[in-house]
């Protein structure tokens, strides 16, 4: 079944652990991104591990190949199960990332890499403003295909791009979709959003949801509603993140 990953994009360590504890056993996977990692990641990651949770470390590594490989070696000690690199780093960077992943896994880690294809806050107009030609779907398709060729385990993309990605990669390639909102919920700073049902039908193995859960009056009820919607959908690709 498609997994729910809750994003802990919150300002304090206490906010993060309160959110995790309020969700209890309803949610296993948590995303640790910039806000929480830079502020209190050294406390949060062990706290998640102590609670038996799985960690998606969303740092979007993007640098010269040697630096990204070194970052992966260092971050592997955190115990994260998923780590993001940015597909726009190119073939050499992605290949170096894969080599570093294989190295740390041979030493006992259990790390998979996801390539971020294009931020869900970006529109075609945003891309043109920074000199990137092409529409978002084409760019995502090219970047996801490159990541797969290089041996990256999966990608992060918007739901409306997932079917295109799924059509050009192998069955084992993971597709994780952020930008998930229920009907009537505010879109905040996202542009390309979709519902949990849309994501399941598009072939996502996991969806990432932050504020609609962590800022809900009853976070556990909000998470359970998403899980119920996932279960009710008829998936076309049903392996989850196992």
Burial of 68 (0-12, 13-18, 19+ CB in 10 A): buried
**Residue found under tokens 């994003």:** 7
Q: In this structure, what token pair is assigned to residue 181?
A: 């909102």
From the candidates 53, 60, 215, 231, give the one annotated as an active-site residue. 60
Q: Would residue 215 show up in a list of annotated catalytic residues for this protein?
A: no
Q: Report how far apart, in Å, the C-alpha atoms of 3 and of each of 28, 162, 179, 227 are.
A: 9, 15, 15, 8
Give residues with Cβ within 8 angstroms of 180, minimum separation 6: 159, 193, 194, 195, 196, 199, 207, 208, 209, 212, 226
**Residue found under tokens 């993140």:** 241
Q: Report how far apart, in Å, the C-alpha atoms of 43 and of each of 17, 48, 140, 152, 192 are.
A: 10, 9, 34, 28, 32
Q: How many residues does the chain have?
A: 242
Angle CA 160–206–85, to nearest 5 = 85
* 133 Ramachandran zone, left/alpha/beta (phi>0; psi -120 to 50): beta
The residues annotated as belonging to the active site are 60
């Amino acid at each position: 079944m498609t997994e729910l990953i809750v994003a802990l994009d919150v300002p304090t360590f206490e906010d993060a652990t309160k959110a995790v504890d309020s969700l209890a056993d309803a949610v296993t996977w948590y995303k640790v991104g910039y806000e929480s990692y830079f502020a209190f990641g050294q406390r949060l990651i062990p706290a998640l591990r102590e609670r038996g949770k799985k960690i998606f470390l969303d740092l979007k590594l993007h640098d010269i190949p040697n630096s990204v490989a070194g970052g992966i070696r260092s971050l592997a000690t955190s115990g994260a199960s998923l780590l993001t690199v940015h597909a726009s780093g190119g073939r050499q960077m992605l290949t170096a990332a894969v080599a570093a992943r294989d190295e740390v896994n041979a030493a006992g880690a259990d790390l998979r890499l996801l390539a971020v294809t294009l931020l869900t806050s970006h529109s075609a107009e945003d891309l043109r403003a920074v000199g990137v030609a092409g529409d978002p779907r084409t760019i995502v398709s090219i970047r996801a295909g490159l990541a797969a060729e290089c041996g990256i385990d999966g990608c992060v993309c918007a739901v409306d791009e997932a079917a295109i990605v799924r059509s050009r990669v192998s069955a084992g390639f993971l597709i994780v979709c952020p930008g998930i909102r229920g009907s009537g919920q505010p879109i905040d700073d996202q542009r390309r959003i979709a519902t949990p049902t849309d994501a399941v039908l598009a072939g996502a193995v996991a969806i990432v949801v932050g504020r609609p859960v962590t800022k809900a009056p009853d976070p556990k009820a909000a998470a359970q509603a998403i899980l119920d919607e996932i279960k009710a959908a008829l998936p076309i690709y049903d392996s989850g993140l196992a």
